[in-house]
Amino acid sequence: MPAKIKILFLAAEAEPFVKIGGLADVAGSLPLALRSLPFEATGGAMLDVRLVLPFHRAIRAEVATLHQAAEFSVHRHGGNIPVQVLEISSGGMPVYFISGAPISNSPTVYSPNPALDREKYAFFSLAALELTRQLDWYPDIVHANDWHTALALYALRSQQPDPQLRRARTVFTVHNLPYMGGDGSDVLSAYGLMPLNDDSLPKWAQTQPLPLGLWSADAIIPVSPTYAQEIQTPGFGCDLDPYLRTRTNNLSGILNGLDINTWNPETDKALAACFNANELPVRAVNKAALQKALELKDDTRIPLLVMIGRIDQQKGLDIAFEALHLMADKSWQFVLLGSGDRALEDAACRLQMDFPDRVRMAFRYDEALGRLLYGGADMFLMPSRYEPCGLAQMIAMRYGNVPVVRATGGLKDTVEEGRTGFLFGEASPGSMVEALRRALTVHADPEKWQHYQRNGMREDFSWPRSARRYASIYHSLLSGL
Ligand code: ADP
């Protein structure tokens, strides 16, 4: 085992530079957590993890702290594309930002135009690999995340001419299986990547980035143990389940951790009042602040239910809206913070029209309001149809906000019925109503409710536990050489 293991960590987004969703939380904290593991957790090796991100327009970085790390070009059909790489140090870790025309041509992190995204991320993936050659820093492990960076693994496996780079082992974390990147035949051929000639993957998948990443990976890591099982079944496998079952031996789920310093109700400046597990009544100050700001009835005894997240079919918002209709006889208030799917946003507006006194919507990304909702509301709803891991329910628990969730993926692995939250099985309003009624009954007994809150707040969702599991995967891949 080398004294130092070099890990190239590739992602489309990472905190604190740019965030769209949970991937940014993970890519922002896992590399640092890996770097700070004690030697006994890494087989005595130092983990030299380096993060590479596209230099999106939205990147937040002090320009003065950036310096140029490399300049080279990536070959594309019809000519070379110049690449400029800027570097910054984040908590002692080198972070590289790749820039070039396919990245600057696309104004947002993820574009509504899939072709623009495929071009951007294919270019990014290949430039990130080439960067390691330019720096003469050859990784032992290339760790990619989701479809955006999957082609780096495929390029490494299928056509990498440099033997020093080719010997790297590959890890692919799957945060969201259904987003595969679409048919990439055009970019594959434009960037000179050979089509896959292996029928272990279904024909349609042989040109899509995510399946090619799965095919190329030595280790496939879905972001929770339950999701790792689920994607091997027809209900969740998006037609890749037969292939994934052939990879069972290379597939294991690792739950995402939470950055417990960023998410800490004792120090969170966005809260009206900070608190810990021994000062739960203080939370009422945050609830009162929310009711005032959102012009809801100012009565902190009314259960306040919230949802925070992308407004997407995946998240089961329609199930929650219908369940709330079915619970009209009960006393509750409901706040939704998020944006996304227009039809679901319209459905949310209809809910607000039906319950004008007790429903509020905020269709935007709002970090501060999100934090106040975590720290002031009573119940956190996540009726997801599928949920690879889910961070929001872990944040909610850490803030004494009791989750009511569907028993799927990471929700099932992190929330425990009767101890930290309430679960329901079927993705239906009726099933959710049963869980909500159980929750409201317990909520009516403050002592019992505080039990749930404290249990949730004392759960250990910190990164070191998950980072150790990643380190042992790296270790086993490299010992197998
Ligand atoms: P996903 O990765 O599927 O989007 P997660 O639950 O894993 O969902 O992570 C979502 C993260 O993004 C959480 O940190 C959540 O607080 C945050 N988030 C999502 N939407 C919003 C929003 N509109 N305003 C503030 N924070 C948001």
Q: What is the pLDDT of residues 272-304, one digit of tens each?
A: 999 999 999 999 999 999 999 999 999 999 999
Residue 268: inside a domain = no
Query: Which atom of ligand 1 is the closest one to the Cα of 20?
Result: 12
Around Cβ 273, how many Cβ atoms within 10 Å? 17
Provide CB contacts within 8 A for 395, sequence distance 6+.
258, 263, 374
Q: Which amino acid makes up residue 122?
A: A
Question: So what's the pLDDT on residue 61?
Answer: 76
Q: Are residues 339 and 402 in the same domain?
A: yes
**Rounded to two decimals, what is the model's pTM?**
0.93
Task: Tell me whether residue 265 is in a domain.
Answer: no
Return the pLDDT at 179: 96
Asked if residue 233 and residue 121 are part of one domain, the reply reads yes
Residue 409 near ligand 1, beta carbon < 6 Å: no
For residue 294, give Cα distances in angstroms to 232, 269, 433: 43, 19, 25
Q: Could you tell me the distance, in angstroms and rounded to a whole number, from the CA of residue 419 to the centre of ligand 1?
A: 24
Q: Are residues 347 and 474 in the same domain?
A: no
- Tokens encoding 64: 């003065």
Q: What is the pLDDT of residues 109-148, one digit of tens each?
A: 999 999 999 999 999 999 999 999 999 999 999 999 999 9
Say yes or no: 235 and 307 in one domain: no
Residues 176, 33 share a domain:
yes
Residue 323 carries which side chain, given as an amino acid letter?
Answer: A
- For 28, the enclosing helix (H) or strand (E) is helix 22-35
Residue 142 β-bridge partners: 8, 170
* Rg from Cα positions in the chain: 23
Would you state the pLDDT for residue 481? 55
Q: Which of 20-29, 67-76, 330-339, 426-435 has the lowest mean pLDDT?
A: 20-29
Over residues 447-452, mean pLDDT: 98
Q: What is the CATH number of the domain that holds 15?
A: 3.40.50.2000
367 and 241 co-located in one domain: no
Condensed to tens digits (0 to 9), the pLDDT of residues 341-391 reads: 999 999 999 999 999 999 999 999 999 999 999 999 999 999 999 999 999
Q: Is the pLDDT of residue 1 over 70?
A: no
Q: SS in 3 state form for 105-118? A: CCCCCCCCCHHHHH
C-alpha 361 – ligand 1 centre gap (Å): 15
Evaluate whether residue 441 is within a structural domain.
yes
Task: Verify that 234 and 311 share a domain, yes or no.
Answer: no
Range of the domain at 193: 4-257+464-478
**Which helix (H) or strand (E) is 376 found in, with range?**
helix 367-376
| Residue 116 resides in a domain | yes
How far apart, in whole angstroms, are the C-alpha atoms of residue 159 and residue 165?
11
Which residue minimizes the CA distance to atom 10 of ligand 1? 22
* Claim to verify: residue 290 and residue 237 sit in the same structural domain: no
User: Confidence band (pLDDT; 50, 70, 90) for 480?
Assistant: low
Give the pLDDT band of residue 64 (cuts 50, 70, 90).
confident
**What is the per-residue pLDDT across 218-255, written as a single tens digit (0 to 9) for each?**
999 999 999 999 999 999 999 999 999 999 999 999 99
* Residue 169 scores a pLDDT above 80: yes
Residue 43, judged by CB atoms within 10 A of its CB (0-12, 13-18, 19+), counts as middle
Q: Examine residue 103 and state whether it is found in any structural domain, yes or no.
A: yes
Mean of the per-residue pLDDT values of the chain = 96
pLDDT for residue 259: 87
Domain count, the chain: 2
Residue 79 is given by DSSP the state E
Please tell me the residue having the least CA distance from ligand 1 atom 22: 365
